[in-house]
Amino acid sequence: MLPPCVFASQSSFFIIINMEEVMGGYVINFVLLFLQVLSFAIIGRVIMSWFDQSGTMRVTVILHEITEPILGPLRSVLPSFGGLDFTPIVAMLLLQALEGLIVSAVGR
């Protein structure tokens, strides 16, 4: 447990800041931002799969490297539906659910 810090303001009042709350806020914001970036990367990978079906463009390779740790395990669990890959949709739903759980747990 971190001790509270006391800062003097210009009007000679003291402001007590609990460092755990401040650092916890940064961690929560970082995790939420990470989940949003991962969601955008999945959307980008889906869009790039329409234009670069061979997967040789640098952007496609980067998006594949970012999203495959999430999509790969899901792909092995989900059944194949006649050549259609629903893994990105399921991954987006799971990321949105995780983001909702975090936001409701924090109380924002």
pLDDT at residue number 17 = 54
- The total of structural domains in the chain comes to 1
In a domain, 4, yes or no: no
CA–CA separation, 69 vs 101, rounded Å? 21
Model pTM?
0.76
pLDDT at residue number 38 = 96
Banded pLDDT at 90 (limits 50, 70, 90): very high
In a domain, 17, yes or no: no
In a domain, 64, yes or no: yes
- Helix ranges (H only) for the chain are 19-51, 58-77, 87-106
In a domain, 20, yes or no: no
In a domain, 5, yes or no: no
Token output for 75: 């792909």
Q: Are 59 and 48 in contact (CB under 8 A)?
A: yes
In a domain, 18, yes or no: no
In a domain, 86, yes or no: yes
In a domain, 93, yes or no: yes
Residue 5 has, within 13 A of its CA and on its CB side, a CA count of 10
- Boundaries of domain holding 50: 26-106
Banded pLDDT at 5 (limits 50, 70, 90): low
Task: Give residue-wise pLDDT tens across range 22-75.
Answer: 666 788 889 999 999 999 999 999 999 999 888 889 999 999 999 999 999 999
- The dihedral over CA atoms of 75, 76, 79, 85, expressed in degrees to the nearest 10, equals 20
